[in-house]
């Protein structure tokens, strides 16, 4: 029996969202994904404010984070959450199409736990998402306070 | 009895005063003794010629110096007329008589003149002739005091010649700032004749706005008189006669002579130098401006290439992703072969586009990266490049011929890229050959740079299209034959040009190709 932990996906492109969800689905990881299309919404979610004011369940076990987003971009989001004494424990995986050194540097300096470049080939893409999902959502021990749900492993 | 008073009296004898014969005798004795001792001393002097003449100019006494200077022994010259010491021209001009006459009239004659020795040789003499009187005021003769001033005059002449011949302006002034010596260069520089300058204050040559402080500078120099450049750090100007200002450099040299303290200054007209400096600085500014523009342009290009490639990648990725999803969806439904082919084509096309975008990004980066300058052993670079092509050379039968390569100046990473691209091409285009012959070597020099080449026996190319080879994305072979984006050679060219060299290609269809490029040689230390 595996404990399936919640994944928060912060990605502004609906196409990339769909591709990631499809890839996660191929590995039975898609059920506990909360997908938000902007860093601002994601902040509201984590801080339980705005449209998420009434949220009572726990925090995600891992956040998949895109960098290039309109209102609050990935770097800004990283800075806020990793700067927050309580929320900083949540593992963050940057998933971006940028291979630029500066983005890598900024992300790691701000405390990102991993940096994955979205592969061009879909096969590679699926592999990457699978590995990320399998590690963070299943193998990794989530920080206390994360939401979990028991699932039966597929026969 | 007293002698007749004369302006320049020189008494050898004096009158005895009073009635005392005894006193007189004593006095005479004392005098004679004094005279004798003086005579001995004077007589013994060898550096100065001292001799006396009687009133008609015949030699009366003769000292050692006179013998030394003029070559006559006392015995042979006493009684002879002293004009024999003068040159023939001087005798003809009655110089001896005239000098004696002056000595008699004024009491003393001083002057420089040529004197002839017994052996016929001559020397320049400085002569003081004094008239001598007896106690009664009668002229009894003359005393001559002669110094050999040949050396001194020679040195003085040499000094004057040196000043005159100096390539820079030479100016000498006294402590009060009066000009006492100038040379031709000074006349040229300031536009004055020397007679307009000699005796004038130096401030005449100083532009008005500096004139007030100049005496202060002069005094401070004499306060610490050491040879130095004037006004270091300041721009100095001289005032030309026509009112214009000349930029100059001034060197100051203290001269302490028996006649007082002087300053010998050298003045150099630096108009040309200043003009050259301004040209240089203007050129430098221009170059810097161009450099900045180039950097800006390069940075713009890079940021353009980056955003282009970045923004183009996302939709491409999506295309590829959805094709996959579509394909997987269609596994369960019936899809015609044609439909499958179309899907495959779309997928391949988008892959190609991704490669083109990557190539474009790499190419634009080639212009921006800082190139390190160092001595590079090309043999090592070539080996590294070949090693990096292991995947492509696996299973191939390649005959490598690498001849000695020179050391060059350049960026090791960039040069590795150049060789990797060229050798990679050679490997690729000699694919159909078994064995493939790939040769890497040096083919001489061009303009001080070494000519290097990579040659293969592959499919070659039509020389007609050689000029297209190095263009971005340009290919001379269809996709089906050889995979590639056509950016490798463009990158090679860009890197070689950044090293100051050039690239060109030679080849023939089916007879292989040779890519030549030049790089600066490193002086082997």
3-state secondary structure of B304: helix
pLDDT above 50 (res B506): yes
- How much is the pLDDT for B248? 92
| Arithmetic mean of pLDDT, B398-423 | 92
Number of domains in chain A: 1
Residue of A nearest to B324 (CA): A122
| Arithmetic mean of pLDDT, B154-167 | 86
pLDDT above 50 (res B154): yes
- How much is the pLDDT for B22? 77
| Arithmetic mean of pLDDT, B280-288 | 93
Note down the domain range covering A48: 2-151
Give me A39's structure tokens: 């860093």
- How much is the pLDDT for A138? 79
- How much is the pLDDT for B9? 45
Of residues B133 and B46, more confidence is placed in B133
Q: Is B344 on the interface with A (CB under 8 A)?
A: no
| Arithmetic mean of pLDDT, A27-31 | 75
Dist CA B264 CA B151 (whole Å): 22
Q: Which residues from A are below 8 Å from B316, CB to CB? A: 120
pLDDT above 70 (res A54): yes
- How much is the pLDDT for B13? 43
| Ranges assigned E (strand) in A2-105 | 2-5, 7-10, 33-36, 62-65, 92-96
Task: Determine the residue among A121, A125, A129 to mutate to test chain B binding: the one whose Cβ has the most chain B Cβ atoms within 10 Å.
Answer: A121
Q: Which residues from A are below 8 Å from B322, CB to CB? A: 15, 19
Of residues B437 and B350, more confidence is placed in B437
Instruction: Give the pLDDT band of residue B329 (cuts 50, 70, 90).
Output: confident
Cβ-Cβ pairs closer than 8 A, A with B, add up to 38
Average pLDDT over chain B reads: 85
**Considering only CB atoms, which residues of chain A are within 8 Å of chain B?**
13, 15-16, 19, 22, 97-98, 100, 118-123, 125-126
Residue of B nearest to A97 (CA): B314
DSSP state of A87: G
pLDDT above 70 (res B406): yes
**A122: nearest CB among B310, B314, B321:** B321
- From the CB of residue B272, how many other CB atoms can be counted at a distance below 10 Å? 9
Q: Is B314 on the interface with A (CB under 8 A)?
A: yes
Give me B419's structure tokens: 């060789």
| Arithmetic mean of pLDDT, B183-205 | 92
- How much is the pLDDT for A69? 87
Cβ contact B311:A111 at 8 Å? no
Residue of B nearest to A121 (CA): B320
Give me B156's structure tokens: 């003085």
3-state SS string for B450-497: EEEEEEECCCCCCHHHHHHCCCCCCCCCCCCCCCCCCCHHHHHHHHHH
* Percentage with pLDDT > 90 across chain B: 39
Structural domains of chain B ordered from first start? 21-148 (3.30.450.20), 154-269 (3.30.450.20), 274-366 (1.10.287), 374-520 (3.30.565.10)
**B321: nearest CB among A19, A98, A100:** A19
Among B residues 223-282, those touching chain A with beta carbons less than 8 Å apart: none
Dist CA B26 CA B35 (whole Å): 14
Q: How far is B322 from chain A (nearest CA, A)?
A: 8
Q: How far is B317 from chain A (nearest CA, A)?
A: 5
CA angle A69, A74, A76 (to 5 degrees): 110
β-pairing verdict for A92-96 and A62-65 = parallel
- How much is the pLDDT for B45? 75
pLDDT above 90 (res A111): yes
Matching residue, tokens 């269609």: B330
| Arithmetic mean of pLDDT, B293-302 | 83
Distances (CA, A) of B61 to A45, B30, B42, B58, B414: 133, 21, 11, 9, 100
Distances (CA, A) of B88 to A55, B113, B140, B293: 136, 13, 27, 85
DSSP string, B350-409: HHHHHHHHHHHHHHHHHTTSPPPPEEEEHHHHHHHHHHHTHHHHTT--EEEEE----EEE
Listed in sequence order, the residues at least 6 apart from B302 whose beta carbon sits closer than 8 Å to its beta carbon are: B364, B365, B367, B368
Of residues B506 and A143, more confidence is placed in B506
- How much is the pLDDT for A104? 92
Contact B310 A16 (CB under 8 A): no
- Note the pLDDT tens digit of each residue in B461-505: 888 888 888 876 677 666 566 767 678 888 899 899 989 999 999
Task: Determine the residue among B321, B355, B358 to mutate to test chain A binding: the one whose Cβ has the most chain A Cβ atoms within 10 Å.
Answer: B321
B496-505 contacts: CB < 8 A, separation 24 or more? B496/B418, B498/B366, B498/B367, B498/B371, B498/B414, B499/B371, B499/B409, B499/B410, B499/B411, B499/B414, B499/B415, B500/B449, B501/B449, B503/B470, B504/B466, B505/B461, B505/B466, B505/B469, B505/B470
Contact B322 A19 (CB under 8 A): yes
| Arithmetic mean of pLDDT, A64-78 | 90
Dist CA B75 CA B159 (whole Å): 41
Q: Which residues from B are below 8 Å from A19, CB to CB? A: 318, 321-322, 325
- How much is the pLDDT for B16? 43
Q: Phi then psi for B263, rounded to 5 degrees?
A: -120, 130
- Note the pLDDT tens digit of each residue in B75-117: 999 999 999 999 999 999 999 999 999 999 998 999 988 999 9
- Note the pLDDT tens digit of each residue in B375-392: 899 999 999 999 999 888
* pTM score of the predicted model: 0.47
- Note the pLDDT tens digit of each residue in B203-232: 999 999 988 888 888 888 888 888 888 877
Q: Is B318 on the interface with A (CB under 8 A)?
A: yes
Classify burial at B337, counting beta carbons within 10 Å of its beta carbon; exposed 0-12, middle 13-18, buried 19 or more.
Answer: exposed
| Arithmetic mean of pLDDT, B331-344 | 81
pLDDT above 90 (res B522): no
Give me B396's structure tokens: 């191939």
Listed in sequence order, the residues at least 6 apart from B517 whose beta carbon sits closer than 8 Å to its beta carbon are: B418, B451, B452, B453, B492, B496, B501, B502, B503, B504
Contact B322 A22 (CB under 8 A): no
* Percentage with pLDDT > 70 across chain B: 92
**B324: nearest CB among A15, A16, A123:** A123
| Arithmetic mean of pLDDT, B261-281 | 91
| Ranges assigned E (strand) in B175-241 | 179-182, 228-229, 236-239
Q: What is the CATH number of the domain that holds A40?
A: 3.40.50.2300
Classify burial at B306, counting beta carbons within 10 Å of its beta carbon; exposed 0-12, middle 13-18, buried 19 or more.
Answer: middle
- How much is the pLDDT for B12? 44
| Arithmetic mean of pLDDT, A136-150 | 75
Dist CA B163 CA B172 (whole Å): 10
pLDDT above 60 (res B6): no
- How much is the pLDDT for A149? 59
- From the CB of residue B439, how many other CB atoms can be counted at a distance below 10 Å? 17
| Arithmetic mean of pLDDT, B241-245 | 93
Instruction: Give the pLDDT band of residue B24 (cuts 50, 70, 90).
Output: confident
- How much is the pLDDT for A148? 62
**B318: nearest CB among A15, A123, A126:** A15
Cβ contact B36:B163 at 8 Å? no
Listed in sequence order, the residues at least 6 apart from B17 whose beta carbon sits closer than 8 Å to its beta carbon are: B1, B23
| Ranges B9-18, B37-46, B181-190: which has the least confidence | B9-18
């Amino acid at each position: 029996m595996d404990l399936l932990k919640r994944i928060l996906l912060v990605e502004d492109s609906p196409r990339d969202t769909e591709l990631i969800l499809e890839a996660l689905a191929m590995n039975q990881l898609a059920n506990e994904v909360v997908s938000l299309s902007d860093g601002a919404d994601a902040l509201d979610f984590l801080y339980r404010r705005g449209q998420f004011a009434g949220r009572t369940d726990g925090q995600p076990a891992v956040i998949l984070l895109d960098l290039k987003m309109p209102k609050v971009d990935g770097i800004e989001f990283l800075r806020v959450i990793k700067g927050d004494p309580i929320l900083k424990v949540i593992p963050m995986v940057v998933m971006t199409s940028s291979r630029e050194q500066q983005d890598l540097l900024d992300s790691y300096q701000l405390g990102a736990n991993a940096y994955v470049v979205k592969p061009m080939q879909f096969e590679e893409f699926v592999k990457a998402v699978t590995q990320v999902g399998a590690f963070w959502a299943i193998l990794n021990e989530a920080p206390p306070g994360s939401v979990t749900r028991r699932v039966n492993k597929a026969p | 009895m007293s002698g007749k008073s004369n302006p320049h009296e020189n008494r050898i004898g004096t009158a005895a005063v009073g009635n005392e014969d005894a006193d007189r005798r004593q006095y005479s004795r004392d005098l004679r003794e004094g005279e004798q001792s003086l005579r001995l001393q004077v007589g013994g002097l060898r550096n100065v010629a001292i001799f006396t003449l009687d009133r008609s100019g015949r030699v009366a006494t003769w000292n050692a110096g006179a013998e030394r200077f003029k070559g006559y022994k006392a015995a042979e010259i006493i009684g002879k007329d002293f004009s024999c010491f003068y040159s023939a021209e001087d005798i003809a001009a009655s110089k001896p008589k005239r000098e004696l006459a002056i000595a008699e009239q004024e009491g003393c004659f001083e002057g420089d003149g040529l004197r002839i020795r017994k052996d016929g040789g001559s020397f320049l003499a400085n002569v003081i002739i004094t008239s001598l009187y007896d106690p009664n005021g009668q002229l009894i003769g003359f005393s001559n005091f002669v110094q050999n001033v040949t050396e001194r005059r020679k040195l003085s002449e040499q000094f004057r010649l040196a000043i005159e011949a100096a390539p820079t302006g030479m100016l000498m002034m006294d402590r009060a700032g009066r000009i006492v010596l100038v040379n031709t260069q000074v006349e040229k520089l300031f536009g004055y004749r020397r007679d307009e300058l000699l005796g004038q204050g130096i401030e005449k040559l100083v532009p008005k706005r500096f004139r007030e402080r100049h005496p202060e500078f002069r005094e401070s120099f004499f306060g610490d008189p050491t040879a130095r450049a004037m006004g270091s750090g300041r721009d100095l100007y001289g005032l030309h006669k026509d009112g214009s200002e000349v930029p100059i450099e001034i060197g100051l040299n203290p001269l302490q002579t028996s006649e007082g303290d002087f300053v010998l200054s050298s003045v150099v007209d630096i108009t040309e130098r200043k003009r050259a400096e301004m040209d240089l600085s203007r050129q430098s500014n221009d170059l810097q401006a161009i450099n900045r523009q180039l950097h800006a342009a390069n940075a713009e290009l890079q940021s353009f290439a980056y955003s282009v490639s970045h923004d183009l990648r996302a939709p491409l990725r999506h295309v590829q992703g959805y094709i996959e999803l579509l394909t997987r969806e269609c596994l369960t439904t019936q899809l015609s072969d044609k439909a499958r082919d179309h899907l495959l084509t779309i997928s391949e096309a988008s892959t190609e586009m991704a490669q083109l975008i990557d190539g474009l990004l790499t190419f634009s980066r080639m212009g921006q990266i800082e190139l390190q300058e160092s001595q590079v052993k090309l043999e090592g670079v070539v080996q590294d490049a070949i090693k990096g092509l292991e995947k492509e050379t696996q299973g191939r039968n390649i005959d490598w011929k690498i001849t000695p390569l020179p050391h060059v100046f350049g960026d090791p990473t960039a040069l590795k890229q150049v060789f990797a691209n060229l050798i990679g091409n050679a490997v690729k285009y000699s694919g159909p050959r078994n064995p493939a012959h790939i040769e890497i070597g040096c083919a001489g020099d061009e303009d001080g740079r070494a000519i290097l080449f990579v040659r293969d026996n592959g499919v070659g190319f039509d020389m007609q299209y050689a000029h297209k080879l190095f263009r971005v994305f340009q290919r001379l072979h269809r996709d089906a034959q050889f995979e590639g984006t056509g950016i490798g050679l463009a990158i090679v060219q860009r890197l070689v040009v950044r090293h100051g060299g050039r690239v060109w290609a030679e080849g023939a269809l089916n007879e292989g190709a040779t890519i030549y490029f030049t790089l600066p040689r490193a002086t082997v230390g």
